[in-house]
Structure 1
Amino acid sequence: MRAASQSKGTKGLRITYLHQYFNTPDMSGGTRSYEMARRLVARGHEVNMVTSWRSQDGAKKPFVTVEDGIRVHWLPVPYSNTMRYSQRLVAFARFVMASAKLAAKLPSDIVFATSTPLTIALPGVFAARRRRVPMVFEVRDLWPELPIAIGALRNPLAIRAARALERFAYRNAAHVVALSPGMRDGVVQAGYPTNQVSVIPNSADLSLFDPAGVDTQAFRRLHPELEQRPLVVYTGTMGKINGVRYLVDVAAAARDRASEACFVVVGSGQQEEVVRQAACEAGVLDRNFFLYPPVPKRDMPQVLAAADLALSLFVDLPAMWANSANKFFDALASGTPVAINYGGWQADWLHKTGAGLALPPQDTKTAAEEIDQWLARPRAERQKAGGAARALAEQEFSRDDLAARLAEILESVAVGGASPLGAGSS
């Protein structure tokens, strides 16, 4: 590594941060990269975020904005969750080419590349080699295990290529950040040294979601059709892997039980029309099951403040148990009890703290019954669960604390000049 990187110390690093799906709080979707990057800036570092402008508004040329001190380089590469898998691959390839060219030109002391998609490793490695600096790689999902598990990746040659790309990413990383213990284990099983992997899960924004400062009735005023019925809310993507169709069946079972609960989805995605049609056929749409468009991150606290129970859902696959869904941590921060329909480390935390409940992944009638029983608890018990959720967010998943941990890793790698495993090899 070049001497300049080592002599700069831990302050004033020039960080090239690659994330294809970067969002600001004014956009819908996860804001982990924004939150981490702005805290890196506050710590005294210079951050160049390389990302895609995904809106199909006709933009043809790259442009730059400054978001809370982050210099964001937007590359016009349209993308949406409604795209077919083949269209997504084209978008991945376009972004790889454009971002590699740009990132290689940016003065840098370290490159930080965050997946998904796994293809982000290609511009990350290219830029790191061109700038002669180390790369830290962040694993948000275990690719290619997940697309293989859901059947999106079936061709044997494509699977071999994806596994080769996974090994390439790890081999050329000076350090790997995993978003859950299960992801860490997957990285290690792929042959990466345990002592060069750190777990930094998605985190809880304690100030944005502070329950003390949120109007709990604002969301209901926007949607008077909800009245004052108990709200069970899912906020997020309706992709194939999220399995939101599950909630339609829960709503139907709850209706059959004469439950007063309303089931609300705030989001969009590839499966949106599938979910809408299923709800219509089940006779629950706009009765006890409601679909609303996604909202900017800044407005999400009002949605969760209105909820009696927040949901995190996935299809019934053990591979999903290692997930680190933003919606889980947003709910904790808002002091909203959480229900999930999968096992793993998040279920362990809910059982341990009483901050929510784990629902059966396939038995939607039992899930509806368990939700009804939970909503029927005395108010004091439900408030206690909400307090446990907020306490868990504060004690284990504070965004400030986890961002500081990430900063320390980047500073240590940049200053120490750790060499990527197999650097220089193809």
Structure 2
Amino acid sequence: MKIWILNHVALKPSETGITRHYDIANELVKQKHEVTIFASSFLAYRYVFRNRRKTNYTENVNGVLFEWMWTLPYKGNGILRVFNMISYFFMALWRGLLSKEKPDAVVGSSVHLFACLAAYVLSRFKKATYIVEIRDLWPQTLIDLGKMSKRHPAVLLFGMLEKFVCRRADQIIVTLPGAVDYLRNLGIAEDKIHVIPNGIVMNREKEKSRPSPLAQSLSLLKKKHGKLAMYVGSHGDANALHTVIESAKFLSESEVALILIGDGPMKESLQKAAKAYSHVYFFDSIPKKAVLSTLCLADVLLISMRDAPLYQYGMSLNKLNDYMLCGKPILFAGNVANDIVTEAKAGLTIAPERPGAFADGLRSLLSLSEEELQEIAATSYAYVNDHHNIERLAQRFLAICSYKEAYPEDEEAVPCQLSISKWGSRQ
């Protein structure tokens, strides 16, 4: 079958960040399906074009086709970011309508809803199944994390878009388990909503034995401070890394070094805040293939989240899959509907945005016995394999894309019922 996926910020496997759709597509290509991903050639997390010599081109990555499209450059979270989203909408339409290919399914995936809207238009022109994938709840994210009023024009606009695309979708995929209730409250039929969380390629476990580009630096820090607590990921407002920084005042230099690896809009301000502490260290982003080997150099892995109502709908963090595959104990500061760290017995969960409690939790995990560490590694691996194995998630994705409905001109056709009862819409 032929599937088009519209994801503004989709990435190749060699790039730093979420590669959800490449990973799913790669599994489907192995099964002789054809998958094309329509994505921006402008890297939003670095604010640069991935290829300065060309901005509109096609690239074959291990059988997965990427249609890289120019979108308006921007920096920050101002009005240019909205124009960047709108430019993606028009570019996706242009590239899709020019293509002679007729996909069987068109998937529109948020971050933003203009991608879902473009997928709707293309699905109607191509007479394809229309799938909406909601990975971020817009406009709820703008209200809870962006601190916007419910009457803000952007909130009203995305609210209308959200209802429009979801009500017209043949099937809806969500990454958050609580999003089922969220969409049901919008009047969306629950039987067409299906949870597919972010997954991980399990054979990436072999990457643990690769040399880390930070091995020498981290070895020196371990000699100096004794143990390492590490965060790898985006440095954004939602990550609440100020909690990690401020916990340093409750921890001595001889106990642990706090290591933050990655980039993001909050990094500069975090570095300024960390100048007061000599055991907090920052490193730039590392290649994805080096993530697991770097994580394995830590004694404890860190996740911090904002204390926001948004997380009543749950979470699906890519970094958490990496952490659990690594098998080191995880300190999770968050208040979420699906507490995966507790479910997987992968570490310790504490209240968010409380630096003192964060320090206490870290100290507790640093004192675990070898037997306890081995048990955490085993239960973490089992959980991620059972719930986030990308091979299994790709089959769910394919089942949803295989849904068919009768078009008006095909009066004799009978809609097929999607048979996915064994995994359902809740997990």
TM-score by length of 2: 0.87
1:231 pairs, out of 224, 228, 240, with 228
Mapping of residues 5-154 of structure 1, within 5 Å:
13-55=1-43, 56-57=48-49, 58-59=52-53, 61-77=55-71, 83-106=76-99, 107=101, 108-151=103-146, 153-154=148-149
- Paired amino acid for 2:61: E
Taking the aligned partners of 1:296 and 1:33, their CA distance within structure 2 comes to 18
Q: Deviation digits for residues 128-157 of structure 1, max 9, x if unmatched?
A: 111111211111111110111123544533
Mapping of residues 168-183 of structure 1, within 5 Å:
168-183=164-179
Query: CA shift at 1:210, angstroms?
Result: 4.4
Note closer, same or farther for the CA distance 1:68–1:216 as it changes in structure 2 (3 Å cut): closer
Taking the aligned partners of 2:36 and 2:324, their CA distance within structure 1 comes to 30
Give the structure 1 partner of residue 246 of structure 2. Answer: 249
Mapping of residues 337-356 of structure 1, within 5 Å:
337-347=329-339, 349-356=340-347
CA contact (8 A) 1:29 1:296 kept: no
Taking the aligned partners of 1:109 and 1:184, their CA distance within structure 2 comes to 25
Matched, 1:378 2:369: yes
Taking the aligned partners of 2:90 and 2:64, their CA distance within structure 1 comes to 22
Structure 1, unpaired ranges of 5+: 1-12, 420-426
Taking the aligned partners of 1:156 and 1:78, their CA distance within structure 2 comes to 23
Taking the aligned partners of 2:192 and 2:257, their CA distance within structure 1 comes to 46
Give the structure 1 partner of residue 423 of structure 2. Answer: none
CA contact (8 A) 2:212 2:290 kept: no
Q: Deviation digits for residues 10-48 of structure 1, max 9, x if unmatched?
A: xxx111111111111211111111101111111221111
Taking the aligned partners of 2:286 and 2:73, their CA distance within structure 1 comes to 18
Secondary structure at 1:339 match in 2: strand
- Paired amino acid for 1:383: Q
Note closer, same or farther for the CA distance 1:259–1:376 as it changes in structure 2 (3 Å cut): farther
Give the structure 2 partner of residue 300 of structure 1. Answer: 291
CA contact (8 A) 1:138 1:178 kept: yes
CA contact (8 A) 1:234 1:265 kept: yes
Taking the aligned partners of 2:364 and 2:167, their CA distance within structure 1 comes to 50
Q: Return 165-174 or 227-236, whichever deviates more.
A: 227-236
- Paired amino acid for 2:58: V
- Paired amino acid for 2:160: A
Q: Deviation digits for residues 225-257 of structure 1, max 9, x if unmatched?
A: 4234322221111112221111101122223xx
CA contact (8 A) 1:62 1:74 kept: yes
Taking the aligned partners of 2:245 and 2:155, their CA distance within structure 1 comes to 33
Bigger RCO of structures 1 and 2 (CA < 8 A, at least 6 apart): 1
Give the structure 2 partner of residue 272 of structure 1. Answer: 267
Taking the aligned partners of 2:32 and 2:212, their CA distance within structure 1 comes to 39
Query: CA shift at 1:98, angstroms?
Result: 0.5
Give the structure 1 partner of residue 397 of structure 2. Answer: 406
- Paired amino acid for 1:369: D
Query: CA shift at 1:95, angstroms?
Result: 0.9
- Paired amino acid for 1:92: M
Query: CA shift at 1:79, angstroms?
Result: 5.5
- Paired amino acid for 1:115: S
Mapping of residues 280-295 of structure 1, within 5 Å:
280=275, 283-284=276-277, 287-295=278-286
Taking the aligned partners of 1:327 and 1:114, their CA distance within structure 2 comes to 20
CA contact (8 A) 2:304 2:332 kept: yes
Taking the aligned partners of 1:279 and 1:413, their CA distance within structure 2 comes to 54
Taking the aligned partners of 1:78 and 1:289, their CA distance within structure 2 comes to 36
Secondary structure at 1:333 match in 2: helix
Give the structure 2 partner of residue 330 of structure 1. Answer: 322
Structure 2, unpaired ranges of 5+: 407-413, 418-427
Secondary structure at 1:394 match in 2: helix
- Paired amino acid for 2:82: L
TM-score by length of 1: 0.87
Q: Deviation digits for residues 32-89 of structure 1, max 9, x if unmatched?
A: 1110111111122111111011143544541111011011110122667x52232211
Q: Deviation digits for residues 252-305 of structure 1, max 9, x if unmatched?
A: 2223xx55212111111111111111111xx22xx3211111112111111211
